[in-house]
Amino acid sequence: MRRSLIWIIAGPCLVLALLSAWWTAGLVAGDGLWPPDEVTLSEAVATRNNAEAVRLIESGANPNQPSHVRDGLLTNGYAVTITPIEAAVGAQRADSVRTLLANGAAVDQEELRVLRCLEEARRDAGVRELLAAQSTSAADCNGLRSPLERVQ
């Protein structure tokens, strides 16, 4: 009876230890339970993954280079190619805007106009505050195409 009790208690512990060792060996080998996520810098920002965005920038990704964002992340029914900072504004993430600006994203006056008009369509107070601090004039959105519009 005592011996069965030991196995009842030790059995699950042994199974968990073996699974843990298997998982650790897989992570060390670069395999793991999930394949590595292949995302562009704009996709990392669109999915609110600032840590991945910083990792990509540190690995050489240009924070000013437009890149592909898959359907469903910022838009429904089509993919877009936009800059990471446009993705941050489109995703309504002031923290991502701050992260990109702190890591080399440059915003000229024309890009600032695009960003402010995009924010007006998406409405995020934190993003609005950050963008308003960059410019004193009101954004003129007449005739401006949103970076999230479907390209025909």
Q: Cα-Cα-Cα-Cα dihedral of 86, 89, 91, 96, to 10°?
A: 90
Per-residue pLDDT tens digits of the chain, which is 152 residues long? 777 777 788 778 888 887 777 666 665 555 555 555 689 999 999 998 999 999 999 999 999 999 999 998 888 888 999 999 999 998 888 999 999 999 999 988 888 888 888 888 777 777 877 877 777 777 778 878 778 777 65
pLDDT of residue 46: 92
pLDDT of residue 129: 79
For 27-77, the three-class secondary structure string (H helix, E strand, C coil) is HHCCCCCCCCCCCCHHHHHHCCCHHHHHHHHHCCCCCCCCEEECCCCCCCC
pLDDT of residue 25: 64
pLDDT of residue 29: 55
**CA-to-CA separations, 66 to 14, 24, 45, 81, 133, in angstroms, rounded:** 50, 36, 12, 6, 24
pLDDT of residue 134: 79
Query: How many residues can be counted in the chain?
Result: 152
Distance CA 46, CA 65 (A): 15
